[in-house]
């Protein structure tokens, strides 16, 4: 149970600036007076990068505020490092600190405490002050908006921004990206790969994506980020293509594993479509 007196409040802040969107914060609480009188209420706020934001304000005089629920939803396109604090007469006490992945949310529930819920609705656990996926629990993240690569330089690889998952150093992960994409013309090819934290201890993946109506380009047992180095020559159609990347990784440092792609032709768009997804689980 978290109880605030008139000299207390809950604050939230990030360890750094967001990539695109500030996380959203929602709380539900009830005020109790000596009468006793019970008054329900709610608080909403957005984070402000490293600047502390008042999440749940202090109650009025002679009142205690019991917090029943808090949620911080990461709607950014990258994982965020967040801290939730109680401010007691300007002295700050950390209630929770850790990393929330893309599409994940931190939840506090009275009687239950803090948990992190994945984009797929699964519970994560704490280990060494970092959030890691529960072993053998399948997680899913979905691309919420189209991502276009029509770079002025042919074969320039870039992130599929918003299609990634968080990893912790030393843990082993299985992953599978399933990406629907379009091509400006069928004579524009593409390439699909992954990137992540530097110098992984283990990395092996296979990528496969459309080439023609009945054929695909397949790159087996790839051991290095951003490979293959070259795009293929065509796409099977303009409006309906699929790329699939499946593999395992054991990172040497914390970070995010993200899908990457390139267009074979300068200024000719390859578009990763909203609804594409990544599935992953921690195996060790």
**Which of 67, 102, 117 corresponds to the end of one domain?**
117
As a dihedral over the C-alpha atoms of residue 253, residue 251, residue 169, residue 139, rounded to 10 degrees, the angle is: 120
Distance CA 4, CA 10 (A): 8
**CATH number of the domain that 213 lies in?**
2.60.120
Query: Is residue 129 pLDDT above 60, yes or no?
Result: no
Residues 274 and 218 in one domain: yes
Look at 25-34, 64-73, 115-124, 266-275 and tell me which has the smallest mean pLDDT. Answer: 115-124
Looking at residue 133, its pLDDT comes to: 55
Which residues have a Cβ under 8 Å from the Cβ of 91 and sit 6 or more positions away? none
Give start and end residues of each alpha helix (H) in the chain.
none
Looking at residue 35, its pLDDT comes to: 85
Contact 163, 169 (CB under 8 A): no
Looking at residue 78, its pLDDT comes to: 84
Residues 96 and 23 in one domain: yes
Query: Does residue 48 lie in a domain region?
Result: yes
Looking at residue 121, its pLDDT comes to: 78
Looking at residue 74, its pLDDT comes to: 94
Looking at residue 234, its pLDDT comes to: 98
Distance CA 219, CA 229 (A): 11
Tokens of 75: 């709607």
Query: Does residue 122 lie in a domain region?
Result: no
Residues 254 and 168 in one domain: yes
Confidence of residue 135 (pLDDT cuts 50, 70, 90): low
Query: Does residue 132 lie in a domain region?
Result: no
Looking at residue 127, its pLDDT comes to: 42
Query: Does residue 264 lie in a domain region?
Result: yes
Query: Is residue 167 pLDDT above 50, yes or no?
Result: yes
Confidence of residue 19 (pLDDT cuts 50, 70, 90): confident
Query: Does residue 136 lie in a domain region?
Result: no
Query: CB-based burial of residue 121 (10 Å sphere; 0-12 exposed, 13-18 middle, 19+ buried)?
Result: exposed
Look at 28-42, 174-188, 202-216 and tell me which has the smallest mean pLDDT. Answer: 28-42
Q: How many CB atoms lie within 10 A of CB 95?
A: 17
Mean pLDDT of 121-130: 56
Place of tokens 């709607």: 75
Q: How many CB atoms lie within 10 A of CB 130?
A: 16
Residues 237 and 270 in one domain: yes
Look at 122-126, 187-191, 205-209 and tell me which has the smallest mean pLDDT. Answer: 122-126
Query: Does residue 134 lie in a domain region?
Result: no
Query: CB-based burial of residue 83 (10 Å sphere; 0-12 exposed, 13-18 middle, 19+ buried)?
Result: middle
Query: Is residue 51 pLDDT above 70, yes or no?
Result: yes
Residues 145 and 278 in one domain: yes
**pLDDT tens digits, residue range 78-115?**
888 899 999 999 999 999 998 888 889 999 999 889 99
Confidence of residue 159 (pLDDT cuts 50, 70, 90): very high
Looking at residue 144, its pLDDT comes to: 87
Query: Does residue 124 lie in a domain region?
Result: no
Distance CA 160, CA 102 (A): 13
Confidence of residue 122 (pLDDT cuts 50, 70, 90): confident
Looking at residue 14, its pLDDT comes to: 93
Looking at residue 37, its pLDDT comes to: 87
Mean pLDDT of 24-36: 93
Looking at residue 188, its pLDDT comes to: 98
**Which of 50, 85, 117 corresponds to the end of one domain?**
117
Contact 26, 43 (CB under 8 A): yes
Mean pLDDT of 138-164: 93
Distance CA 280, CA 101 (A): 13
Distance CA 144, CA 138 (A): 19
Q: Which of 81, 78, 254 is nearest to 163 (CA)?
A: 78
Contact 68, 10 (CB under 8 A): no
Residues 182 and 259 in one domain: yes
Confidence of residue 201 (pLDDT cuts 50, 70, 90): very high
Enclosing domain of residue 36: 2-117
Residues 174 and 237 in one domain: yes
Mean pLDDT of 259-276: 97
Structurally, how many domains does the chain consist of? 2
Q: How many CB atoms lie within 10 A of CB 42?
A: 11
Residues 188 and 277 in one domain: yes
Residues 34 and 101 in one domain: yes
Residues 89 and 149 in one domain: no
Looking at residue 217, its pLDDT comes to: 98
Query: CB-based burial of residue 166 (10 Å sphere; 0-12 exposed, 13-18 middle, 19+ buried)?
Result: buried
Mean pLDDT of 188-209: 96
Cis peptide leading into 26, omega within 30 of 0? no
**Which of 68, 101, 117 corresponds to the end of one domain?**
117
Average pLDDT, the chain: 92
Query: Does residue 276 lie in a domain region?
Result: yes
Residues 152 and 256 in one domain: yes
Residues 145 and 179 in one domain: yes
Mean pLDDT of 125-149: 71
């Amino acid at each position: 149970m978290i109880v605030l007196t008139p000299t207390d409040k809950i604050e939230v802040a990030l360890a750094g600036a967001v990539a695109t969107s500030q996380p959203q914060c929602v709380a539900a609480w009830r005020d109790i007076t000596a009468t006793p009188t019970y008054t329900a209420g709610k608080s909403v706020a957005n984070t402000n990068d490293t600047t502390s934001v008042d999440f749940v304000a202090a109650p009025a005089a002679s009142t205690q505020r019991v917090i029943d629920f808090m949620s911080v939803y990461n709607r950014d396109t990258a994982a965020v490092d967040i801290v939730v604090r109680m401010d007691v007469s300007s002295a700050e006490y950390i209630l929770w600190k850790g990393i929330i992945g893309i599409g994940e949310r931190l939840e506090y529930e009275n009687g239950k405490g803090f948990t992190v819920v994945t984009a797929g609705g699964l519970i994560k656990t704490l280990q060494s002050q970092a959030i890691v996926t529960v072993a053998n629990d399948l997680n899913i993240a979905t691309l919420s908006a189209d991502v276009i690569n029509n770079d002025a330089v042919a074969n320039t690889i870039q992130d599929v921004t918003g299609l990634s998952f968080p990893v912790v150093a030393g843990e082993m992960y299985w992953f599978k990206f399933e990406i629907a994409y379009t091509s400006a013309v069928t004579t524009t090819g593409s390439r699909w790969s992954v990137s992540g934290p530097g110098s992984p201890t283990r990395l092996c993946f296979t990528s496969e994506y459309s080439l023609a109506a009945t054929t695909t380009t397949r790159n087996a047992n790839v051991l290095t980020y951003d490979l293959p180095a070259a795009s293929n020559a065509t796409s099977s159609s303009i409006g309906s293509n699929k790329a699939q990347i499946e593999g395992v990784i054991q990172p040497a440092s914390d970070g995010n594993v993200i899908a990457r792609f390139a267009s074979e032709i300068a200024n000719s768009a390859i578009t990763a479509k909203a609804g594409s997804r990544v599935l992953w689980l921690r195996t060790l």
